Amino acid sequence: MTWALKRQIFYLSILIIFFLIVGFLIISPNFNKAPSCVDGKQNGNETGVDCGGSCSNMCLAQVDPVSVLWARAFKVIPGRYNAVAYLENHNKNAAINKINYRFRFADENNVYIGKREGSTYVPPSGKFAVFEPGIDIGNSIPVYTTFEFTQIPQWVTVSQEKINQLKILVSNINLINEETSPALSAVIKNNSLFVISEMDVIVILYDASHNAISASRTYLNSLAGEKSKEVNFTWPEPMSAKVVTKEIIPLYNIFSVKLK
């Protein structure tokens, strides 16, 4: 072997060693990466893939599904309806930031006549409602209404301290002109230090048998901490029965509220 060939082999060996060292420095952090809640693996103290344990996302095995207590379509004017699904989240410290859903409507013969899709959030612990306004299904009358979520939910842990601090009070509920052009007003108070943005306020009216006979929705762009606002609802036609109970449901995404 000549001296020149030996020199070439020496330089080539140095070059190979250099690239091996650089490659090791690049690749080794991936093998020694600490477990996280977004690495697509079940590691650390997780009880599922990126869920459970110290992760904010909860595994499906940890939570109960949301119950659909009822779903109905209420006539606003002939040919136009508002749809409401009345639901219950049985999980005390778990909520959903966003989930897609579907209303489906059928006539008295249970023949499919239309659907409405959308997305919503699920508040922690308790009953809430999903409201879809202005549904036009032509000359058909929706007698049967169903509601379902159309994707797998992603549950997120909510601290009990935050839930305890967020208190919304409803007062001064007043329904007038029930037999002509009904109108309802109420006062919503944010009895906390949090600023709540994009609050939906849904009202459901019940008869003496506690059957829901109508519903409506209004919207508050923002409700600052320790502040109150009046909300108003109107209907273009008289109620189909005497209103005995008025349920007002303030709804907001708990993940969007902020301390002032």
- As for how many domains the chain has, the answer is 2
Contact between residue 93 and residue 163 where contact means Cβ atoms under 8 Å apart: yes
Q: Are residues 144 and 197 in the same domain?
A: no
Residue 23 lies in a domain: no
The range of the structural domain enclosing residue 78 comes to 48-158
How deeply is 223 buried, as exposed, middle or buried, from its count of CB atoms within 10 A (0-12, 13-18, 19+)?
A: buried
Q: Are residues 250 and 231 in the same domain?
A: yes
Name the pTM for this structure.
0.83
Q: Are residues 176 and 139 in the same domain?
A: no
Kind of pairing, strands 183-190 and 168-176? antiparallel
Q: Are residues 172 and 227 in the same domain?
A: yes
pLDDT digits (tens, 9 = 90+) for 61-104: 889 999 999 999 999 999 999 999 999 999 999 999 999 999 99
Q: Are residues 55 and 148 in the same domain?
A: yes
Residue 12 lies in a domain: no
pLDDT digits (tens, 9 = 90+) for 193-239: 999 999 999 999 999 999 999 999 999 999 999 999 999 999 999 99
Residue 34 lies in a domain: no
Q: Are residues 94 and 125 in the same domain?
A: yes
Query: What CATH number has the domain bearing residue 142?
Result: 2.60.40.3230
Q: Are residues 228 and 238 in the same domain?
A: yes
- Amino acid at site 193: L
Q: Are residues 187 and 152 in the same domain?
A: no
